[in-house]
Structure 1
Amino acid sequence: MSIRRRLAVEIFTGIVLAAMASGPSWAQGTAAKPSSREEVQQALQTREQYDVHGLRFAADKSTLEPGSEALLDDIATALKNFPDWHLRIVGHTDATGSAEANVRLSLERADTIKAALVKRGIAPDRLMVEGAGQSRPVASNDTEEGKALNRRVELVRIADSPEAKKLLKAMSDYLAAQKALSFAYDANLQVVTNTDQKLGLASSGTVVLSRPDKVRATRSGGFVDTEALFDGKTLTLLGKNVNKYTQIETPGTVDQLIDELKDKQGLPLPGADLLMTNAYDELMEGVYDSKDLGSGVINGHECDSLAFRKDDVDFQIWVAQGEQPYPCRLVITSSQVMGEPEYSIQIRDWKSGDGVVTDDFAFKNATNAEKIDVKDLKQNISELPGHFIVGDEK
């Protein structure tokens, strides 16, 4: 087995270490405090989740109570034995008090743990902190026992793969260098019903891009049949299924158009982040975990499989190997939405340079479509049909 493939296998054993701030264990409830540093290290290496007793905070405070020193020593020793490990320290609270105050308190507790480990010789850049407040309970806040379970500090072992970042950057640089590109795609938007049934809405389409300021995108599915054209000055959105269109004056580049559609109109282009000249920066914003999963095959092409995590989403991308490192598949999972729905886009028929057939990207209105206001057309070109309702966060 190659070194790279062996590393790809090893990273699948992500380590989650849960340390209770007070009260009994919230997971299996059977693990006692490790009696030796070796046992702490073994737990970090081999168990997906491990509850460590002994890290306790004073009520409504971020000050560690006495008795935590030995446990912190053990954790620091394990980190020193494995210098490639990185930890994400996440503070949690119960629902007592305001949500805003609990976010501050949970972050302060995470900072306390980080400072204690840094004091013990762990480099600060190996430790990340987050305050989740009361947003991710593991038990009911209606009882004192449940509240105690929710007051916790979680240490998550994370990966920071230079190779994954390098491969993603190479893809971004390649895309930015293409003056013209085109591809077809198949997309699937997964939704979760109020009975926890996962359903997929499938669509297909095409994208033709001519930098810096022209793009044509189509999308056709069971609920929608649309076309978007941009000629550097005017964006035209055509609902083919209703034979209506709207136009928005928005002169600028394709990058500026993507921001306009996403931030102001709520109508992102398919795989929009991949089309931007700074795709790497857009994709990597907020990423705290990166993995190189080795190789995979998409549409007969061998690809590098890369996985990344943010606070609100996970995304996995397959990048074609060879001289044209284009994206073959992208899967985005909403980790903070009930049911963890996902959106995937699989790319085929990739072309670039002279292989791309372009035109003037002007709207011809060959079907005598009726012009209407953009807000009236949105309901006819949305990814979701009207009777679907966006779900709650976790």
Structure 2
Amino acid sequence: MNIRHLLDPEQVRLARRRKGGLTAARHVLAAVTLTVGVAALSVPAWAQTEDELAKQYKIESMKQALETKERYDLYGLRFASDQSAVPADAQSLLDDIAATLKNFPEWHLRIVGHTDATADPQHNQALSLDRANAIKAGLVERGVDEQRLATAGAGESRPLAGNDTPEGRALNRRVELIRFTDSAEAKRLLKAMSDYLDAQKAISFDYDAALEVVTNDKQKLALSSSGMVTLNRPDKIRAARAGGFVDVETLFDGKTLTVLGKNANKYTQLEVPGTIDHLIDELRTKYDRPLPAADLLGTNAYAALMEDVYDSKDLGSGVINGTECDFLAFRKDEVDLQVWIAHGDSPYPCKYVLTSRLVTDGPQYSVEIRNWSTGDKAMKDDFAFQNATNAEKIDLKDLQDKTSELPSNFAMGGKQ
């Protein structure tokens, strides 16, 4: 993503990521909108050329990098222009990769193709995936179990150097090898949480959240807030969030959505008839106002959270607010996700953390859940807007700035 996120002491400029790059993480980033962090997203300056890196290749260096860093950028696979067939002079590299995987039978390997930016982005995306799949096919031919291999195409989206010189473009044309973990137990535990959530018709909980930004001098700042959520499936929800710069309440009765900016004493209403799932999608895609913890509120949280996950780990137990939990970690290209799930017959989410992988210094968004209740123990609500403070009704666009997570001296910047 060619976007810079800047912050200085007087003004913060946030850049929304372009819509085309949101598919992979749109569910998991719902709670943070698109402002997961503020930092410089830079392209490193490489001191070596592609030819020099290719000549330095040794099977030992690849194995060591995969063992210690879990990734390796492979050069020397010089595909013909606009072609995905593995060149004849690169067959020995495939021999080395296959031999390494046979020596480490517990390893799984993800093969990610990358291109320069000389063609159409969509074409580059498809071409990079075709090349990764060609390498996978070559490894399968060499006896590697297909179940141990995964592929992806990043196209031109993650350059290592600038695309304005031949040398830079050559560095960007690479194959990335990533060692990953595929934990069946982590997936089972997450699915059990999702099934439990789906079975609950009434849920209420309180939460504490922190949204991090990163300054240009690498100082992390956490914007903290607290809130509550009450829902009755399939079509009623109330969510409130209050922090140093925001005090907002959202209500939905199955037909009408009300958003109340308590600090401004103004509200807006929209007709969005349907289920909570429909409301979540409408708020996220049409109005850019995702509900807090949206990934956990809709049906089939497992599908939303696992979309595009390639690495899953069961990290044992943890304790959140005195509750013993299973600690799980998942990885996508854009974000890392950590989830703590309560032990016992009510495997509810105690905490989850999203960490950006595309923004320098990895700013994150975290939510800790308290006072989890379901069924008859859940908080009762009629989900009706009463307007007890005689708030003024205004258009949604006029309410946006008055219900922002960020302080008033933060200004939204454009793409760069």
Q: Could you state the TM-score of these two structures normalised by the residue count of structure 2? A: 0.81
Q: 2 CA distance for matches of 1:34 and 1:333?
A: 32
Of 223-232 and 56-65, more deviation after overlay is shown by 56-65
Matched, 1:208 2:230: yes
Q: Is the partner of 1:274 in helix, strand or coil? A: helix
Q: 2 CA distance for matches of 1:147 and 1:249?
A: 50
Verify the 8 A CA contact 2:247 2:403 in the aligned structure 1. yes
Aligned mate of 1:74, from 88, 96, 99: 96
Which residue in 2 is equivalent to 1:17? none
Q: 2 CA distance for matches of 1:107 and 1:251?
A: 40
Q: Is the partner of 1:206 in helix, strand or coil? A: strand
Structure 1 vs Structure 2 CA RMSD: 2.6
Task: Give the C-alpha shift of residue 345 in structure 1.
Answer: 0.8
Q: 2 CA distance for matches of 1:102 and 1:82?
A: 32
Are the structure 2 counterparts of residues 50 and 215 from structure 1 closer, same or farther at C-alpha, using a change threshold of 3 Å? closer
Q: 2 CA distance for matches of 1:310 and 1:285?
A: 8
Which residue in 2 is equivalent to 1:6? none
Which residue in 2 is equivalent to 1:3? none
Which residue in 2 is equivalent to 1:305? 327
Matched, 1:45 2:70: no
Are the structure 2 counterparts of residues 24 and 53 from structure 1 closer, same or farther at C-alpha, using a change threshold of 3 Å? same
Q: Is the partner of 2:225 in helix, strand or coil? A: strand
Q: Which amino acid in the other structure matches residue 267 of structure 2?
A: Y
Matched, 1:369 2:409: no
Q: How does 1:31-42 map to 2 (within 5 A)?
A: 32-34=57-59
Which residue in 2 is equivalent to 1:105? 127
Q: 1 CA distance for matches of 2:414 and 2:343?
A: 38
Matched, 1:255 2:277: yes
1:35-66 per-position Cα deviation (integer Å, ceiling 9, x unaligned): 7xxx8656543454445564333355434333
Q: Is the partner of 1:132 in helix, strand or coil? A: strand
Which residue in 2 is equivalent to 1:389? 412
Verify the 8 A CA contact 2:325 2:350 in the aligned structure 1. yes
Matched, 1:65 2:87: yes
Q: 1 CA distance for matches of 2:413 and 2:215?
A: 10
Task: Give the C-alpha shift of residue 195 in structure 1.
Answer: 5.2
1:313-354 per-position Cα deviation (integer Å, ceiling 9, x unaligned): 221111111121110111112323454332111111111222
Which residue in 2 is equivalent to 1:229? 251
Q: How does 1:303-382 map to 2 (within 5 A)?
A: 303-382=325-404
Structure 1 portions without partners, runs of 5+ = 1-19
Q: Which amino acid in the other structure matches residue 325 of structure 1?
A: P
Q: 2 CA distance for matches of 1:51 and 1:311?
A: 16
Are the structure 2 counterparts of residues 371 and 47 from structure 1 closer, same or farther at C-alpha, using a change threshold of 3 Å? closer
Are the structure 2 counterparts of residues 352 and 226 from structure 1 closer, same or farther at C-alpha, using a change threshold of 3 Å? same
Verify the 8 A CA contact 1:210 1:358 in the aligned structure 2. no
1:224-258 per-position Cα deviation (integer Å, ceiling 9, x unaligned): 10111112222111110011111112222222222
Verify the 8 A CA contact 2:74 2:175 in the aligned structure 1. no
Q: Could you state the TM-score of these two structures normalised by the residue count of structure 1? A: 0.85
Are the structure 2 counterparts of residues 148 and 292 from structure 1 closer, same or farther at C-alpha, using a change threshold of 3 Å? same
Q: Which amino acid in the other structure matches residue 231 of structure 2?
A: L
Q: 2 CA distance for matches of 1:310 and 1:140?
A: 24
Structure with bigger RCO (C-alpha 8 Å, 6+ apart): 2
Which residue in 2 is equivalent to 1:134? 156
Q: Which amino acid in the other structure matches residue 132 of structure 1?
A: A
Of 77-86 and 279-288, more deviation after overlay is shown by 77-86
**Count of residues in correspondence between the two structures:** 368
Of 359-368 and 143-152, more deviation after overlay is shown by 143-152
Q: Is the partner of 1:110 in helix, strand or coil? A: helix
Which residue in 2 is equivalent to 1:12? none
Which residue in 1 is equivalent to 2:179? 157
Q: 1 CA distance for matches of 2:210 and 2:287?
A: 21
Q: Is the partner of 1:268 in helix, strand or coil? A: coil
Q: 2 CA distance for matches of 1:259 and 1:295?
A: 33
Verify the 8 A CA contact 2:245 2:407 in the aligned structure 1. yes
Structure 2 portions without partners, runs of 5+ = 1-47
Verify the 8 A CA contact 2:72 2:178 in the aligned structure 1. no
Q: Which amino acid in the other structure matches residue 58 of structure 2?
A: K
Q: Which amino acid in the other structure matches residue 286 of structure 2?
A: K
Q: 2 CA distance for matches of 1:107 and 1:217?
A: 41
Q: 1 CA distance for matches of 2:141 and 2:288?
A: 46
1:175-215 per-position Cα deviation (integer Å, ceiling 9, x unaligned): 11122121111111112345554322111111111222221
Verify the 8 A CA contact 2:71 2:176 in the aligned structure 1. no
Verify the 8 A CA contact 1:337 1:391 in the aligned structure 2. no
Aligned mate of 2:53, from 25, 34, 37: 25
Aligned mate of 1:122, from 132, 144, 158: 144
Verify the 8 A CA contact 1:223 1:384 in the aligned structure 2. yes
Q: Is the partner of 1:265 in helix, strand or coil? A: coil
Are the structure 2 counterparts of residues 184 and 42 from structure 1 closer, same or farther at C-alpha, using a change threshold of 3 Å? same
Matched, 1:244 2:244: no
What is the percent sequence identity of the aligned residues? 63
Are the structure 2 counterparts of residues 220 and 332 from structure 1 closer, same or farther at C-alpha, using a change threshold of 3 Å? same
